[in-house]
Each structure stands twice: as structure tokens, then as C-alpha cells.
Amino acid sequence: MPVFWLVLILLALAVAGYFIGRIRAVNSVGGDSRVLHSLPVYYGASAAISVLVPAMGLLAIWLLAQPILVERSVSGMIPSSLIPDGANLNLVMADVRRVAEGLNVAVQQGAISNEQARTLRAETSDIRAVLGQVGVALGQEVRPEVLRAAQSYRNLSASGALAMTVTVLALAMVGLGVSIRISHGQFRARNVVERVILLLLMAAASLAILTTIGIVFSMLFESINFFRLHSVSDFFFGATWAPNFRGDSDLSILPLLWGTLYISFIALLVAVPIGLFAAIFLSEYAGPKTRAIAKPLLEILAGIPTIVYGLFALLTVGPLLVSLFGQSGTLGVNWMSGATSVLTAGAVMGIMLVPFVSSLSDDIINAVPQSIRDGSLGLGATPSETIRNVVIPAALPGIVGAILLAASRAIGETMIVVMGAGAIAKFSLSPFDSMTTITTRIVSQLTGDGDFSSPETLVAFALGLTLFVLTLGLNVLALVIVRKYREQYE
Amino acid sequence: MFDAQRPGDTVDQKETKISARNVQVYYGDTHAIKDVNVDIESKSVTAFIGPSGCGKSTFLRCINRMNDTIDICRVQGDILLDGEDIYDKKVDPVQLRAKVGMVFQKPNPFPKSIYDNVAYGPRIHGLARSRADLDVIVEKSLRRGAIWDEVKDRLHAPGTGLSGGQQQRLCIARAVATEPEVLLMDEPCSALDPIATAQVEELIDELRNQYSVVIVTHSMQQAARVSQKTAFFHLGNLVEYGDTSQIFTNPKDERTESYITGRIG
């Protein structure tokens, strides 16, 4: 039975459980629902939960575990002589799975009977042709061992699926029975339902955290693989980035880190003054009407996809800068040779960060108590003096936090630098030079035909991990500062 | 030391410092102050009393044009300070506020050091010629605020670290540092405990020697203790204005009598 139907049956049972539980609870107190411990709806919900949750949980675990167990038992059937040089068991197992799925398709379409699928022998029939007829193309002739493994795979999967269906349905019925038994007036159904909701919320929260931990570990393992092949000191302290897919590459993070920090610095140089001034205008000077229009407009900037900013950098800002600073440009200085440069990417990224800085700073400036402004105005300070001498100093820790958050976004930004900054990894002080960043190198190392176990590819994980640690550090610092600031006024 | 007893102190108590004529205040469509006429004397303490929402704080904030910072607030009529209309177009509200200081209901020291809090006004208005000059102004103001002895050893500690009563006296010291002529106090003791309240009241009584003090208060005992003149506001009207002793012992208007005996409020 397909899983889809199984889930539908479980849902139907849960709905049935809901009504039975509810009716039984009301009947147990003679139809007077005021006597019940909880509202009738809680009895229904707790019955539905006890049908659904254990059965669904078992279903999920079974679906995850069965392929692993089946594969483990089937892989024993593959002789090591069958594994070609340079490949591993996984490739052969992929063949096995493909043949097994092909047989399933063939049976479904009626090309062969279920009995034939079980007993076919590679020695006697042309499996490749049979499967080809039903649209499953195989790259090579099916070897007898693979076919036998595939048949065994099918059998085990089918019997596993049957066992799963029976067990899950049985568990659902048990849940239904138990819930019906306990649905009487004194049962604290509301507490049970709320406990389950609490667990659901906790599961959601821990899933987010577990995902982060999972990401860190996957990066960590691949980074360790990389450092087995490449020296740690060269990665962190070497001066050259020159990947070479024939091997023997210079893979040092420093030139990339320099590009990343330089571009982020220019981005902040653009974003911080504009964002901060915008925030001051919006929070201190703008009337309610201006604010109601200007603030959402500014925040729309944050909703523009970064690839669009990238296009803007490549097609508008870059050529504009070249026409100013390039050869035969307006300024006649010939500093800039191409449209891609640190300045191009930095300026556009700065524009992207403006709403980020302004929105956070605006909230922080608004959080400064009005009484402090009144105190300053009451002493004969102008609004501008009040902002400079009282409001901004009071809001400064929070503003610094906002800037650090913006910085960590700038460091992690990819699309704008891919399109606006160029691809040359080098140390240079000139903002008109083309440079590259950690993020763009991760993209370029992972795309293309690289061997996944070569240091040239694995370096992407080490780069990613470094980037992660960098932005994590900045975010933690920013949060600590912002939190400390909040305590001051609450 | 502050020069408490000056020659002019006892001679002329009757000079009018502020006079309001037909003052109307609107918040949007709400008519908050209705036709108020009042003459406030120099070198005395005038108390505004009345139930919540009667407009006494609103009227107080008209005297240094703090209501200008509220968009929907409109003021009509004349308020004269030393015979000059403060709502005249020629008057810069910022300059006016340096002359008419204000102390707020909740102590609101800036998140700066005690010294910088007091030096804030003199620095903005350029009152000190030198660093030493500023030190003198700060010390004098803190002494006038009756808080010098408590903070002289920690002038560079943050002002927000003081107790509530100390903070309020710091705010008074901050207000007198710009040498104002009038000091407006909007329920300065409502956030303080009885001991701190007594200290601030004592301070107000001393400030009377040099400034016109206008104080809004919810406590009738406080009004009776610190003020020479009392104005009773009710529903936006100035109901009765006169000597404090007369208002509290022999009110002319029955609304005043009801309020001070606790029947309305």
C-alpha cells in the first residue's frame, strides 16, 4: 500500500477518534458539558492526537530506517570483484536500486508479471531490453549479481512495506482504543493537548538549532578532509590563491579574506552614513505621514533579490565608475580598467545594506525615552543638538550592534560580488582593482567538473567554515552589545 | 557657597514675571485650556493644582513652549514674559527655554556623567569661557541643587546611577546651570519617596530666592507647604487663583472647596 494511502487512513482514523472521543466524554457526564474537566473539543483533540502521533512517528522512523537496513543486507550480496577500479560500493548499489525500480515500473506497466520479475535471470533474458521497453534506460548490461541483488532488494522492500502498513495501522488502532477508554469526564484532556502543543513548539525550535549544528558538522568533516590533503598553515597564512585542477594548487584564504573585508568595508562606508542619516530623519524629523510612506519604501530595498543588485552593479554602476575613473573618463585619471572592481561591488552592496542599517537604527533611536529628549529640549537645546549630544550617544551601543549585523551580512553576501567584484584573488589597496571574495570562490570551486575528493573542491568547505565562524562571531558580538543596551532602559 | 539672602529678596515680591492673557490650547479637536488669565510673580513659588487631565501640565508647558514639540497642539492668546510675548514670531523657542528652565515629572538624567549632565546647558549656550569656568558653574549649580556634598567625589560617575531623589535634584541642578529666570516643575516629586520629596521641597523653597518657580502638583499638602500663590484648574478652566493661604482656608469658588476637601478629584 502506498504511503500516501496509509497517511490518509491514519487521518481518517484521527477524525473518527476526534468525534468518538468527544461524544464519549460528553456522554460520560450525561450530556452536560459544563461538568467536564475540559471543553469537549479537547477530548476530541486528545483522542485524535493519540491516534495520529504514535502512528505517524513510527511511520516516519520506519521510512527512514527501512532503506538503510535493506541496503545493508543487500550490499552483502555484491562480490568485491564486481566493484570496478576507482569506484566504490555506492556506485554499484546505485545500479542495484535503479534495476529494482526498473523492475517495479515494468511490473506496473504489465511488461512482465510480478512472478517473472522475481525469477528473471540475467543469463537467460535481456534485462536491459525489457527495461528499455518501459522507459528505464540502463547504461550497461545488467550483471547476474546485480540483478539478483535488485530482486532481493525488491522483495525486502515489499515485505518491509507490508510490515510497516500492518504495524502502523495496528498502532493507530491501539491509540484509538486507548483514547476512547480514557475519554471520560474526569480525564484532563486540556492539559494533555497543551502538553502536546508544547512539545510541538519545542520540536520546531530544536529543529532549527539542530539544523545549524548539522551544517556546522558537515562543514567540519569536509574541512578536516581538506586539511588532510592540504597544510593548515598554508591555508591560513599563505599568500597566494591559485587553484589548479591538475592538482598542486596554492589555496590560501588570506587574499580572499582581504577582498572580502575590503569590499565589506566599502559597503559599510556607503551604508552606515546613509542608513544612519535616514534613520535619524525618519525617527526625529519626519512627520507621521512622511514616515508612513518613506519607511516602507526604504524597506523595499531590502526585498530586492541580490542577483538584481548584481545586475545593477555589472550593467549600471560599473560602467558609470569606469566613465568617471577609467581611461578617457570624465576625471581623466585612468585608475580603473574594467567595470568589475572593489568599488563597484562595495557601493552596490552598501546600497543593499542601507535599509538594514536604517531600519534597525530607527528602532533603536525610537527606543530612547522621550523624557531624555524633553530634558535636553527643556534646557534650550535645538532638536539637532539634542540628537547629536543626547539621542545618538544613548543609542550608540544599539547602533553599533546594527552596524555589526550589517557587516556580517556584507561578509556573507555572494551574488553582488560574483557579478560586480571580479575573480582575481590578490592583495591590492586600490579600490578600482578587481578582487574576489570567499563566497565567490566557494561558488567557483564547487561548480564545474572537479573531483569531489580533491583539495581544490574540498577547500570550499574550509572557506565556508571560516566564513561561518567569522559571521557567527560578528553576530554574537552584535547581539551581546544590543542586549546590554536594552537593559539600560528597561 | 550660594548667596541665599540678597537685598532684593524681601523688598519687591509683587513684580509680575509672567502674565497670561486669554490663553487657549487645543490638542487636535480637544479644547484643553479654556481662556486662562494668570499673573505669576517673580521670586515666589506658584503652585498649579487640580484633578488629573485638568490642563495644569499643558498650561505649564506653554510657558516655555515645550508644546511646540507636539505636532497637534495649538496655542492661542498671549503669554508675556517680562512684558514680551513669548509666542511672538521674533522669539526663538530655543532661547526662551534657556531662560525658562524645566524639571520633569520623572527624573530624566542623560546617560552621561554627573558633571556632563550639569555642564550640558552651559556648553550648548556657550556660557563658560574656559574649562575652569565650567567647573565653577557646575559646582555652583550642584550646590544650588543641594546635591553637591553627595556627588562631589564622583562627578564623573554616570548620572543614571544615582537614587531617584538624587537624580531629581541633579535635574534641578542641570536646569539652574543655564541661569534661567523661571523654573517650571511638572510634578517633580511624584516619582520620589517621602524623604526625597522633603529634600526637593526644601530645595524649592531656597530656589524661590532667585527664581520664579511654577510647580504643578497633585499633592495639596505639597502646594500648601511650598507655594505662596496657588491656581486651581478644573476641566481646562482656571477656577481660582490667589494666595495659597486664602485658597486653602477660604476658597471663593465651591469647586475649589470641593477639590481641597476631597469631594472631587
Report the residue from A371, A378, A382 with minimal CB separation from B106: A371
B70-128 pLDDT tens trace: 888 889 889 999 888 998 888 888 888 888 999 998 899 998 899 999 999 999 988 88
Q: What is the pLDDT of residues A304-351, one digit of tens each?
A: 998 999 999 989 998 898 888 887 777 777 787 788 888 999 999 999
d(CA A8, CA A35): 35
Enumerate the domain spans of chain A.
3-187, 236-489
Cβ contacts of A382 on chain B, cutoff 8 Å: 94
How far is the CA of A414 from the CAs of A264, A276, A306, A317, A396, in angstroms? 11, 24, 8, 17, 29
For residue B176, CA distances in Å to B102, B128, B203, B255 come to 9, 14, 12, 36
DSSP for residue A369: -
For chain B, which residues make up each domain, given as ranges? 16-260
What average pLDDT does range A247-274 have in this prediction? Answer: 90
Residues of chain B with pLDDT > 70, as a percent, come to 94
Q: What is the pLDDT of residue A130?
A: 75
Whole-number pLDDT of residue B5:
45
Is a pLDDT exceeding 50 seen at residue A147?
yes
CATH assignment of A236-489?
Answer: 1.10.3720.10
Residue B135 — very low, low, confident or very high, per pLDDT cuts 50/70/90? Answer: very high
pLDDT at A450: 65
Contact (CB, 8 A) for A406 and A271: yes
Kindly provide the ipTM of the predicted complex, given to two decimals. 0.85
Confidence at residue A87, expressed as pLDDT on a 0 to 100 scale: 59
User: How far is C-alpha A288 from the geometric centre of its chain's CA atoms?
Assistant: 38
Residue A180 has pLDDT above 70, yes or no: yes
Summarize the confidence of residues B9-28 as an average pLDDT: 78
Instruction: Check if the beta carbon of residue B55 is closer than 8 Å to that of residue B233.
Output: yes
A379/B108 Cβ within 8 A: no
Please give the span between the terminal C-alpha atoms of chain B, in angstroms, as a whole number. Answer: 42
Residue with cell 487631565: B53
Segment among A5-14, A62-71, A439-448 with least mean pLDDT:
A439-448
* SS3 state at B212: strand
What percent of chain B is modeled with pLDDT above 90? 40
Question: Measured between alpha carbons, how far is B162 from A108 in angstroms, rounded to an integer?
Answer: 83
A206: confidence class by pLDDT, cuts 50, 70, 90: very high
pLDDT for A449 equals 67
* CB spacing of A375 vs B109 below 8 angstroms: yes
Residue of chain B minimizing CA distance to A389 = B120
- C-alpha cell, A465: 567554515
**B178 contacts A379? CB cut-off 8 A:** yes
Minimum mean pLDDT range among A53-62, A180-189, B43-52: A180-189
| Separation of alpha carbons B119 and B138, rounded Å | 6
A and B: number of Cβ contacts within 8 A: 70
- CB contact at 8 A, B20 and B233: no
What is the pLDDT at residue B1? 43
Identify the pLDDT of residue A195. Answer: 93
Q: Is B6 a residue whose pLDDT tops 70? A: no
For A254-269, what is the mean pLDDT?
Answer: 92
Which of B97, B111, B112 lies nearest to residue A377, judging by beta carbons? Answer: B97
Rounded Cα–Cα distance for residues B164 and B107 (Å): 7
Helix (H) or strand (E) segment spanning residue B84: strand B84-85
Strand partners, B214: B46, B184
Asked if B110 lies within 8 A of A390 by C-beta distance, the reply is yes
Mutation choice for B interface testing from A377, A379, A485 by most B CBs within 10 A: A379
Residues B174-199: what's their mean pLDDT? Answer: 89
CB contact (8 A) between residue B64 and residue A488: no
DSSP A413-439: --HHHHHHT-S-------TTS----HH
Contact criterion met (CB < 8 Å) for B66 and A379 = no
Q: In this predicted structure, what is the pLDDT of residue B3?
A: 46
- Cα–Cα nearest to A254, from A420, A414, A453, A441: A441
How many angstroms away from the CA of B248 is the closest CA of chain A?
31
C-alpha–C-alpha distance, residues B97 and A449, integer Å:
74
Inform me whether the C-beta atom of residue A393 falls under 8 Å from chain B C-beta atoms. Answer: yes
pLDDT of residue A56: 92
Helix (H, G, I), strand (E, B) or coil at A32: coil
Write the CA distances from B137 to B116, B117, B146, B173, integer angstroms.
12, 12, 14, 10
**Burial tier of A32 (Cβ tally within 10 Å: 0-12, 13-18, 19+):** exposed
> Which class in CATH covers the domain with range B16-260?
alpha beta
Q: Alpha-carbon distance A189 to A50, whole Å? A: 11
Q: How far apart are CA A481 and CA A402, in angstroms?
A: 9
pLDDT at A488: 58
Query: Taking residues B42-57, what's their average pLDDT?
Result: 90
pLDDT, one tens digit per residue, over A343-358 is: 999 999 999 999 989 9
Average pLDDT over residues A105-111: 79
User: Which chain A residue's Cα is nearest to B177?
Assistant: A379
Task: List all residues of chain A from 362 to 381 with a beta carbon under 8 Å from chain B.
Answer: 369, 371-372, 374-381
User: Mean pLDDT across the stretch A157-163?
Assistant: 89
Residues 403-432 on A with a CB inside 8 Å of B are none
